[in-house]
Amino acid sequence: MIIDLTGKTALVTGSTQGIGLAIAKGLAQSGARVVVNGRTAARVDEAADELRSTTGGEVLGIAADVTTAEGVEGLVDQLPAVDVLVNNLGIFGAAPAREISDDEWRRYFDVNVLSAVRLIRTYLPGMTERGWGRVLQIASDSAIVIPEEMIHYGTSKTALLAVSRGFAKDAAGTGVTVNSVIAGPTHTAGVEDFVYQLVDADLPWEEAQREFMRKHRPQSLLQRLIEPDEIANMVTYLSSPQASATTGAAVRVDGGYVDSIVP
């Protein structure tokens, strides 16, 4: 399958590292004009330079805090329209369920849910007017299999699935698709830190990863952490014209972690 996104502009939030950076790379390699986003100008510029050198594509960098209305306004001033919106920005972390404060619950919803809602409201009208667009939310297996050690994170990702389904209905018949990607346990720098919160910090990484999967994610059929490029491959496909009949879906790239035969 040859995916050609030439002429399309794609915004990937939280794309200075990890899954977001891999997604930006996949889209750039497919010909899209990619906008890297993060809060810190230096990190945005570094990521954009890296993508230009590795893909040869057109890559822009915009530093903006999309968790605030003011940050989104500043982003839109520089980027008034996009064809592909990937809401990848998210936070996670372990915390005892009974000790999660109201403020922490609000912070997780502000970052993981409302930032996506705000950007969809901003860019979806232009997509529907043009008759083409792709909106994608990066969700998690934790949206379905709520982890005991981070129920605030899992619940925010469950809400993100509902956001995607609802906006897909709002965009029905317009040529715009709205989907979620359910990412399983993925190997990123942040996840390495998370793994070491739950297993012996003195273990070498490969051993720590195996111990984490065995003790904390035994449902995984892959029996290893997913690599960011594997998530990016699905996102790139769903961003393409070839995925025109997939909308309102929660598509799994979870290594078989969710024990279900339906999405």
Tell me how far the alpha carbon of residue 20 is from its chain's centroid: 6
Is 51 in contact with 222 (CB distance < 8 Å)? no
Instruction: Report the C-alpha gap between 211 and 163 in whole angstroms.
Output: 34
Backbone region of residue 177 per phi and psi (left: phi > 0; alpha: psi in -120 to 50; beta: other values): beta
Catalytic residue among 108, 123, 153, 257: 153
Has 196 been annotated as catalytic? no
**Closest-CA residue to 238 (of 16, 42, 26, 14):** 26
Q: Which residues are catalytic?
A: 153
